[in-house]
Chains A and B, each alone.
Chain A
């Protein structure tokens, strides 16, 4: 490869590197934040969220406030009188966040946290106020931050891996890039919410039921949609578009029934435990433990059991596998059930990691899951694991340098760069032409 890398092939790569560096440089460079408007945003809408940020009677200027909910996001900063207002398109529940970084030194949100979920009452205006107090925000050394982010990234990567392995197995055995995987992730979290919060079951039972229901969804989708389409001989690209339609329909079906709000699962507010520089909640620890155990179980399944070996055989070469007596349909059915159940579990863990359950939470990480699968090499289960860890670590570590609202950008740029230099992915095999 190296010897045949002529200038002609080299030039486009240089160009892309140049563009990507430019992009990165652009995203690093901070524009002056002075232009912040104190006037109302979203004035075209009929409903308004507003508030007044004061500390000891003194108005605080330039504090950033963000509103999120019902598929709408907006943000603003307080004016000289400490006032802010944001117009929103519909009555509903919104998540209002005060950016503590923008508070003056020595001032923090004292109680209730810097995120408030609020709902409109009878009127078209709703005021939201934060309780500020004296305090110090922990300033942590870079190394400590790095270690902390690293562990967080590991946690995130592991939960991504649960979803990514399912996606990768489905791709490997059926050739389908399943966009509806996002909704299988969401289902796990939604069902856990329903069974634990709404129906009052213990959380462990709710999670088990949710995983079982996710698996059932996988089985159902395969039986009702994918198997008949495979029989019909529909090619992979139309299949992929069908999965996009399915994803859209399911996602808004969730919103239809659960609304646009974000709800918390039981125990999501647990206080962090300190391990040197690392602060983790018991939930985080459990999440990582569960991920590792489940991933080991999946590895055992793939490497040691008959059906797991059959799965890899089908993934390698479906027609050969079929010819050698493997029941391909059965393998694919199992892959759908296992993949969906893994995605459901991943959704539960993602609900704790975010934190919160919402109708589009799966879709929010779908691209990262795709990135993980592609990075690892399409269709290889272990590649998906490696890819997920890389994406997870990268997303979390990038917040050390990038603003946190751009952490996803870094991971996606890495995806494009990897495809440039190693198109087959990290663990993927080069394809034979002809």
Chain B
């Protein structure tokens, strides 16, 4: 809490940061950091995945590896193909061609629900809290391998009552961690936008995933909740999960990400440690549409300047 207090005192308008100083994971890659570079222990490997909409190529990724046990940020300007890549990797969309593996298993042609069952759970840019279900029901829906989800066994409560109680206890535990336990009997529709984001993340955790893919987890969330969201993302890593998230805000990315992948016009244009990536001319080029002499993220003052410039630009684009 103190770190936050200091930073707020110093720059009141600065976006929130995690309450604890994040422990960065390093040494993730092999050889030179660059687009498509090899990782020591990749969890997700993408090869020649291409998706076109009509004449427009939305995604064209030659090779990409996502490191295990780290927080990886996927950034890029609007229309860079980040969400489309997310949809392709999670089975929500089908690429024109290409292959990709998760934990060594091929995911090409695997439907979204099977991808999720393998332990690769995603959230959505526009939150998909199930509004007319209670918060608790939302949570319970996240649990894997439920006996009572079979149509015929559903009619025999004695078959699934115990499992249901276990899931309920687990859900309550998660809700407490996400400070939503008082809302457990409310309809999800009554939650605020930020609380829905929290609920969606908590729900994703019900299935004990190995890879959590968050699509703009911080979008449209007020600063106080953003801070708690950042804490939760860091917690995921400390619990041994791998996180891949899409984000616009470079500032937050720099704080919590161990690795950054930059996309522009459907391609991966840069990869690396957050601080180094921000200095990459290709990244600045992608964001500002022109070469820029100064790098981003070295001097805190110039950094905020640039980041806010970029944010403004992105907001205009939106």
Q: Which residues of A approach B to under 8 Å, CB–CB?
A: 1, 3-4, 6, 429-430, 432-434
- Bound CA span A433–B84, Å: 8
- Bound CA span A429–B55, Å: 12
- Bound CA span A6–B91, Å: 14
Is B93 interfacial (CB 8 A cutoff)?
yes
Give, as a whole number of angstroms, the nearest-CB distance from A425 to chain B: 16
Give, as a whole number of angstroms, the nearest-CB distance from B49 to chain A: 12
Q: Which of B117-155 contact A (CB under 8 A)?
A: 124-125
Q: Are B108 and A4 in contact (CB under 8 A)?
A: yes
Contacts of A6 in B (CB 8 A): 109
Q: Are A434 and B92 in contact (CB under 8 A)?
A: yes
A4-B109, A433-B93, A434-B84 provided; 14 other pairs, C-beta below 8 A?
A1-B94, A3-B97, A4-B94, A4-B95, A6-B109, A429-B54, A430-B53, A432-B53, A433-B87, A433-B92, A434-B83, A434-B86, A434-B87, A434-B92
Contacts of B86 in A (CB 8 A): 434
Contacts of B87 in A (CB 8 A): 433-434
User: What are 11 A-B contacts with C-beta separation under 8 Å?
Assistant: A1-B94, A3-B97, A4-B108, A429-B54, A430-B53, A432-B53, A433-B87, A434-B83, A434-B86, A434-B92, A434-B125
- Bound CA span A1–B124, Å: 24
Contacts of B97 in A (CB 8 A): 3
Contacts of B93 in A (CB 8 A): 433-434
- Bound CA span A111–B178, Å: 86
- Bound CA span A434–B92, Å: 8
Give, as a whole number of angstroms, the nearest-CB distance from B114 to chain A: 10
**Which residue, of B87, B109, B124, B125, has the highest number of chain A Cβ atoms within 10 A?**
B109
By Cβ-Cβ distance, the 4 closest A-B pairs, closest first, are: A434-B87, A4-B109, A6-B109, A433-B93
Contacts of B92 in A (CB 8 A): 433-434
Give, as a whole number of angstroms, the nearest-CB distance from B82 to chain A: 11
Contacts of A434 in B (CB 8 A): 83-84, 86-87, 92-93, 124-125
Contacts of B83 in A (CB 8 A): 434
Give, as a whole number of angstroms, the nearest-CB distance from A11 to chain B: 14
Q: Which residue of B lies closest to A429 (CB)?
A: B54
Q: Which residue of B lies closest to A3 (CB)?
A: B97
Contacts of A432 in B (CB 8 A): 53
Give, as a whole number of angstroms, the nearest-CB distance from A336 to chain B: 31
Contacts of B124 in A (CB 8 A): 434
**Which residue, of A3, A433, A434, has the highest number of chain B Cβ atoms within 10 A?**
A434
Give, as a whole number of angstroms, the nearest-CB distance from A94 to chain B: 49
- Bound CA span A380–B83, Å: 27
Q: Which residue of A lies closest to B124 (CB)?
A: A434
Give, as a whole number of angstroms, the nearest-CB distance from A235 to chain B: 13
Contacts of A4 in B (CB 8 A): 94-95, 108-109
Contacts of A433 in B (CB 8 A): 87, 92-93
Contacts of A1 in B (CB 8 A): 94
- Bound CA span A430–B52, Å: 11
Q: Which residue of B lies closest to A430 (CB)?
A: B53
Give, as a whole number of angstroms, the nearest-CB distance from B316 to chain A: 13
Contacts of B109 in A (CB 8 A): 4, 6
Interface digits, B84-112 against A, CB 8 Å rule (1 contact, 0 not)?
10110000111101000000000011000
Give, as a whole number of angstroms, the nearest-CB distance from B229 to chain A: 21
Interface digits, B66-95 against A, CB 8 Å rule (1 contact, 0 not)?
000000000000000001101100001111
Give, as a whole number of angstroms, the nearest-CB distance from A401 to chain B: 38
Give, as a whole number of angstroms, the nearest-CB distance from A4 to chain B: 5
- Bound CA span A58–B92, Å: 73
Contacts of B54 in A (CB 8 A): 429
- Bound CA span A325–B273, Å: 45
Contacts of A3 in B (CB 8 A): 97
Give, as a whole number of angstroms, the nearest-CB distance from B214 to chain A: 14
